[in-house]
Every structure is written in structure tokens, then in C-alpha cells.
Amino acid sequence: MEDRTTAVNQAAGKDNGQHFSKATEIIAWVLLGIGFILFALYVSDFRDSNLGLMVAIGFVIAGMQVYGIGTFVHLLSNKTSKSD
């Protein structure tokens, strides 16, 4: 029974976080793209009360954070797969 459980666990975790890493990379690039487009549209009125500019900066920061998390998961999954 233990062999069967081990085989199922190995088959379920075969990608080792690769799909999650790729998905976060795509999401990060979409967020960065939206942020840069909004930034280009609202940069003419550069002040802190410009809501569009602040949202654009938020999208850029969020995109970088998501990209960092995806990179972290990718590196962590590579590390765990090498140790197995």
C-alpha cells in the first residue's frame, strides 16, 4: 500500500512547482505591462494626488513582487528536486 501511495504522490508532484512558477511569471508580466501602460498615460500630472499614477506604480510593484515569488518557487522546487 505504501508503494502505491508513494507512486501517486510522485505522479501528482511531478512538475515540482514548474506550472506555478510559469503561471506567476505570466501574471507578473501582465501586471507590469498594465502598470507601464497606465504610467505612460498618467505621468504628465506627476503628483501624489494623481490616482491613476499611483495605481500604475502599484501595478508595477505588484508585478515585481509576483515575479519574485515565482522565481523563489522555481528555485526552491529545483533545490528540492535535486535533493530527492
CA distance 74 to 66: 12
User: Any idea where the domains of the chain sit in the sequence?
Assistant: 17-83
Residue 9, pLDDT above cutoff 60: no
Q: What is the pTM of this model?
A: 0.73
Can you give the pLDDT at residue 58?
96
Check residue 41 and give its pLDDT: 94
DSSP-based three-state secondary structure for 1: coil
How high is the pLDDT of residue 61?
97
26-81, pLDDT tens digit by residue?
Answer: 999 999 999 999 999 999 988 989 999 999 999 999 999 999 998 888 888 776 66
Separation between Cα atoms, residue 77 and residue 81, nearest integer Å: 6
Q: How far is CA 59 from CA 7, 23, 32, 35, 38, in A?
A: 41, 17, 6, 5, 9
